[in-house]
Amino acid sequence: MYQLTGVSKEFHKNGKLIEAIRPMDAVIEDGAWLAIQGPTGHGKTTLLQLLGGLDRPTHGTVEFDGRQLSSLSESAVTKIRAAEIGFVFQTFNLIPTLSAAENVETALVPLKMSGANRRERTMNALESVGLADRARHLPSELSGGQQQRVGIARALVKEPRVLLADEPTGNLDEDTRDEIIDLLEASWRERGLTLVLVTHDSSIVKRAWLRGVMRKGRLTISEARPRNPDTDPDVDPDAGAEAEAA
Ligand SMILES: Nc1ncnc2c1ncn2[C@@H]1O[C@H](COP(=O)(O)OP(=O)(O)OP(=O)(O)O)[C@@H](O)[C@H]1O
């Protein structure tokens, strides 16, 4: 799914150089469930932005499904992002003046489908997160957990290949956190997604399949738990090798 080679990201602020990502390599296999933790300011969000094509590395290449995000035009990356990459944010990022359904539907606008098709997919997505009966509610009329469910429906409605979640439960209490992680995990399992999630919460990392640690701008990935063949979907063991050969 992802192959990062020699990737670094530098920022310049007030005449100072900030090395948010130091030169690193990584492979994230198709169908992986990777939870990334690490101290604050060590590059986790920056890494997610590179994986999502929201930003470009200073050096190195980010390959997504055989395509080098770093060398594609802005419009080509925007197209990939719109069709194949779902984002979930800590602060939900819903548009306050739009209903739950309208917020979800916004993700389909760039995909050029009929209004009827958009509305049908929107309702299916809201139903899949248990919020069909809240379709007309504004974000301010929903609880934090419900708002995050809308955020997840918005990310899933386009049927992405990857879900990138940045502290998706950071603003929620523990019970709601567990519900949201259950939902993300079910989506990963049922839809065969690749799930990459950043969190400060060790109890979430224990549920993931792979544990990533981001320290001083470098990611190391290790197995968090053995794969359970009864409940975990298959991954394509050659995905990394294929990306390497491409
Ligand atoms: N747009 C930017 N301009 C300048 N510096 C930036 C920018 N984005 C991030 N940084 C800096 O890069 C470093 C890594 O930031 P990043 O947000 O990736 O860390 P993080 O691990 O996600 O932190 P947290 O856990 O607090 O969210 C920090 O020193 C941050 O100040």
- Mind listing the pLDDT tens digit for each residue in 187-226? 999 989 999 999 999 999 999 999 999 999 999 999 877 7
Place of tokens 């933790």: 37
Does residue 14 line the site of ligand 1, with CB under 6 A? no
**Ligand 1 centroid from CA 236, angstroms:** 32
Q: How many CB atoms lie within 10 A of CB 60?
A: 18
Sign of the CA dihedral 149, 150, 155, 157? positive
- Continuous segment of H or E residues that includes residue 211: strand 210-215
Check pLDDT > 80 for residue 234: no
Q: How far is CA 70 from CA 51, 53, 61, 146, in A?
A: 10, 8, 6, 35
Q: How many CB atoms lie within 10 A of CB 135?
A: 18
Sign of the CA dihedral 67, 73, 74, 75? negative
Q: What is the pLDDT of residues 156-196, one digit of tens each?
A: 999 999 999 999 999 899 989 999 999 999 999 998 999 99
Q: What is the pLDDT of residues 116-155, one digit of tens each?
A: 999 999 999 999 999 999 999 999 999 999 999 999 999 9
**Ligand 1 centroid from CA 201, angstroms:** 18
Q: What is the ipTM of this complex?
A: 0.96
**Ligand 1 centroid from CA 175, angstroms:** 29
Does residue 43 line the site of ligand 1, with CB under 6 A? yes
Ligand 1 atom 17 nearest Cα: 45
**Ligand 1 centroid from CA 156, angstroms:** 27
Query: Structure tokens of 242?
Result: 């294929």
What is the Cα–Cα distance from 46 to 56, expressed in whole angstroms? 10
Domain annotation for the chain: domains and CATH numbers? 2-245 (3.40.50.300)
Q: How confident is the model at residue 70 (pLDDT cuts 50, 70, 90)?
A: confident
Q: Determine the pLDDT at residue 224.
A: 74
- Give me the helices (H) in the chain, please: 44-51, 74-84, 100-105, 115-128, 144-156, 174-191, 202-205, 239-245
